[in-house]
């Protein structure tokens, strides 16, 4: 009998995912995880830098982009800012940012640049799956503001990820922190 995680993962079948990471090991790990979640091997497209990812968007239409933060010659934040430009192919493609650095300022910067969600490295498979499912269920829409697309809530509250809130209040403080 399939486990609960495997049943949830089956909904990822048929997705096309672009993985952008300058580490070949990270790309291989992400591809293995995505395939374990039900994504076909041919549907995981991998590139080693952000400019190659942007170029590839002229020929493919992924359902999701998973992008590392710390890359050269263009980092993940620059990638997101370029991706969300009005004339960029795939400007409204949902994107999950990966990084080993998860301080609240970096998470906030990624979200402000256009990330839909954030996953900490080293990647915990259950967390990655939960974030992908959250992004797929997200009801926010992309709206053009100036020359950039931004995520906006169309009138309701964006759904929490499966099995818990996407962010939580800091005890004794008015702010929030993103759960990564």
**What's residue 87's pLDDT?**
94
Predicted pLDDT of residue 4: 63
Buried b / exposed e across 10-35, counting CB within 10 Å, b at 16+? eebeebebbbbbbeeebbebbbebbe
Q: What is the pLDDT of residue 152?
A: 84
Domain that holds residue 62: 4-178
CATH label of the domain that carries residue 60? 3.40.50.2300
Place of tokens 């591809």: 31
Q: What is the block-wise mean pLDDT of the chain (180 residues), using blocks of 10 residues?
A: 58 90 97 93 96 98 97 96 96 95 86 92 94 91 92 61 42 42
pLDDT at 18: 98
Domain tally, the chain: 1
């Amino acid at each position: 009998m399939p486990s609960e995680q495997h049943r949830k993962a089956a909904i990822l079948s048929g997705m096309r995912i672009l993985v952008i990471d300058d580490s070949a090991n990270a790309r291989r790990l992400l591809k293995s995880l995505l395939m374990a979640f039900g994504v076909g091997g041919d549907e995981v497209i991998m590139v080693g830098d952000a400019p190659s990812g942007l170029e590839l968007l002229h020929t493919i239409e992924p359902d999701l982009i998973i992008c590392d933060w710390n890359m050269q010659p263009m980092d993940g934040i620059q990638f997101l800012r370029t991706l969300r430009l009005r004339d960029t192919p795939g400007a409204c493609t949902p994107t999950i940012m990966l990084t080993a650095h998860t301080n609240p300022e970096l998470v906030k910067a990624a979200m402000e640049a256009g990330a839909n969600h954030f996953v900490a490295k080293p990647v915990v498979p259950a967390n990655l799956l939960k974030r992908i499912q959250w992004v797929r269920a997200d009801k926010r829409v992309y709206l053009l503001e100036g020359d950039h697309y931004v995520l906006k809530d169309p009138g309701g509250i964006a759904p929490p990820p499966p099995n818990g809130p996407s962010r939580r209040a800091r005890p004794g403080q008015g702010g929030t922190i993103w759960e990564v």
